[in-house]
Structure 1
């Protein structure tokens, strides 16, 4: 069974991070530039949460706030379920589905952030794993 460490090995564990005092507008520009839907928000260099496109739409646009006056730290999402590199891809998919979230921060044994897993990462890994299984079954059938 594939685990989060397989996803991180494929995509890398680098995350895009911004200080909590960064304006939402600047975070959105960075997200567009990097073509990502979430960024890590830090305070004193430590992870405090994620800012996602969903946070922007629900906590800025719908609340009538201004993205050039509001900071990322004011609208971040926190309290994500805890996953580690050893967590299974199936477990991530279940957590994301049950909690209606698209991103999960990954923490190591020392409780340090070591990557972000998106729903797209989980779907890609599942499809890749199924393809491997199909290829193995084809090889087995052809060898008998």
Structure 2
């Protein structure tokens, strides 16, 4: 079973991008587009005060008749941010994400932000694990395991 720490090590870019709550939603969208990511942590100094995602934009701006140029991140961000820790398993994270309908989880180690994992990271890990098991079974079936 893979841990969050192992998933973070396997990521090509472990940078966690963030934005201030006083920034506009447009600025958040621009940063997400520039970095090809779907979420930003909202931080005041080192403190995580929320998270803003593409889903927040779709539901709280576009569908509510607001404009991204005038609306502040703090007005649409999700304030209660669930976090995970490096020793937690990918299975625990998947259960948390599917149960709470989340796509991104910040990773804290002793209270310090060390990364962020996405549902895509977990799916990639699961596919990799399944591929390994299939290869081992094929090796065993063809006699390579004797």
TM-score higher than 0.5 = yes
**1:60 CA displacement:** 1.1
Tell me the equivalent position of 1:108: 109
Asked whether 1:74 is paired with 2:80, we answer no
Match of 1:20 in 2: 21
Distance in 2, Cα, partners of 1:114 & 1:106: 6
Off by >6 Å, runs of 4+ in structure 1: none
State the number of aligned residues. Answer: 143
* Deviation (angstroms), 1:69: 0.8
Distance 2:119 2:43 in 1: 22
- Specify every segment of 5 or more residues in structure 2 that has no aligned partner in the other structure, as ranges: none
Q: Distance in 2 between matches of 1:143 and 1:97?
A: 37
TM-score normalized with structure 1 length: 0.90
What is the CA deviation profile of residues 46-103 of structure 1, one whole-angstrom value per residue up to 9, with x for unaligned ones? Answer: 2212110011111111222111111112211132333101111011111111111111
Which residue of 2 is the match for residue 3 of structure 1?
A: 3
Bigger drift between 14-23 and 39-48 goes to 39-48
* RMSD, matched Cα: 1.5
Shift of residue 138 of structure 1? 3.2
Distance 2:60 2:49 in 1: 17
Return the offset for 1:18. Answer: 1.3
TM-score, scaled to structure 2: 0.89
CA shift, 1:137, in A, is 3.0
SS of residue paired to 1:143: coil
| Unmatched 5+ stretches in structure 1 | none
